[in-house]
């Protein structure tokens, strides 16, 4: 079984599929409402060591903090 890769480890310009999220219910529901669901394709636009991770999902740019990005799993 392969190890889960989180959004913090994604390469800039990389295209990934969301595999799942382990977040508090309210945060998960908010991201789901914004279109971030399992199976959705995302493209990472910016991922600096400190600060937020910015990615493109369903025609929209989203930015999430590092703590949230650590709990979003991609493949």
Reported as a single tens digit per residue, the pLDDT across 29-50 is 999 999 999 999 999 999 988 8
End-to-end CA distance of the chain: 13
Residue 48: what pLDDT?
86
List the domains of the chain with CATH numbers: 5-74 (2.30.30.90)
Is the pTM of the predicted complex or chain greater than 0.75? yes
- The closest of 62, 63, 66 to 50, measured between CA atoms, is 66
């Amino acid at each position: 079984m392969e190890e889960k890769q989180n959004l913090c480890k994604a390469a800039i310009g990389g295209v990934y599929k969301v595999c799942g999220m382990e977040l508090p219910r309210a945060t998960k529901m908010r991201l789901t409402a914004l279109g971030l669901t399992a199976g959705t394709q995302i493209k990472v636009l910016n991922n600096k060591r400190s600060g937020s991770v910015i990615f493109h999902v369903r025609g929209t740019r989203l930015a999430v903090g590092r703590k949230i990005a650590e709990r979003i799993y991609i493949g």
